Amino acid sequence: MTKTRVIVAALLTAAVGAARAADEAAEAIEPDQPGIVESSSTVGKGRALLETGLGYQRDKSDGVRSRLWSTPTLLRFGFAEDWEFRLETDGYQRLRASDGGGTVKASGWADTALGVKWHVQDGDAERNTPGLAWLLNVDMDSGSSAFRGQGLRPSLRLTAEWDLPRDWSAGLIGGLYRDSRDDGSGKHFVGGILGASLGWPIAQAWKGYVEVAGDQLASNRNGGRSISAGTGVTWLVDRRLQLDASINRGLTKQTADWVLGVGVSIGF
């Protein structure tokens, strides 16, 4: 082997070793799914995280039985160390509703939301201070006619995340959203968002959680209160891949009776 080839081989070996070391030093992904109480972390500058899955809702209310399949998806891209851009949608949906008079079917795309997350503060277990982040989203009336909302619907949320002893964790989220009334008046209203979660380690790379959350807290004329209780598990396959499963039970009339989901999160 010539001297040049030796140098090239040495450089390639060093580059591969550096890449492996960087990969090993990279922090594990911290997806927002599953659950309503999102993490306070951002993905980091120049990194992306795709969170997607399959959702199923079953409900019976006022004599109407409904089944809804969806493909919820969230794409997060870090344009600064503490800032990320977010693109979120419930994806392709398929609805089947029936009562004594017959069955109605609908399928199409859900609305898309654009947003940003700002990681304000790191958590400190010794001082018992939480990690904090602000999330600003704007839902757009971009979906198929059967699933389209009315106009632009902004929301602002603050999420807090505490690291507890023995790898337990706790989270809170609260916020406000603005939406249009369904009566055709064109008037708007402001509703609330509030949730709490508790997580714990199950085994190596496995975690469980429970949460109670209200993603729609408004007066009856503005849609009422949508509150649910849920639990789920996550499996961090490696630093860039997480699988999850969840189940939620509706606690109010305005909430679907059961919501099930399976998901995958992939970091880039």
Tell whether the torsion through CA atoms of 65, 227, 163 and 90 is positive or negative: positive
Which tokens sit at 61? 């209310």
Helix (H, G, I), strand (E, B) or coil at 165: helix
How far is the C-alpha of 131 from the C-alpha of 139, rounded, in Å?
26
Q: Is the pLDDT of residue 192 over 90?
A: yes
Question: CA 131 to CA 163: how far, in whole Å?
Answer: 9
Q: Which residue has the tokens 């995280």?
A: 49
- Which position has the token pair 């602000």? 134
| Model pLDDT, residue 185 | 73
As a whole number, mean pLDDT of residues 225-235 equals 96
Residue with the bigger pLDDT between 15 and 98: it is 98
pLDDT band for position 184 (cuts 50, 70, 90): low
pLDDT at position 15 over 80: no
Stretch (H or E) spanning 116: strand 112-121
To which residue do tokens 């606690």 refer? Answer: 251
DSSP state of 124: B
- Please write the tens of the pLDDT for every residue from 88-137: 999 999 999 998 778 999 999 999 999 999 999 998 888 889 999 999 99
Query: pLDDT tens across 40-85, in order?
Result: 999 999 999 999 999 999 999 888 999 999 999 999 999 999 999 9
Show Cβ contacts of residue 189 under 8 Å, excluding neighbours closer than 6 positions.
178, 179, 180, 181, 218, 219, 222
Q: Rounded to an integer, what distance in angstroms lies between the CA atom of residue 211 and that of residue 251?
A: 12
Instruction: Please state, rounded to an integer, the average pLDDT across all residues of the chain.
Output: 89
C-alpha 216/C-alpha 197 separation (Å) is 17
* Alpha carbon distance 113, 157 (integer Å): 14
pLDDT at position 27: 83
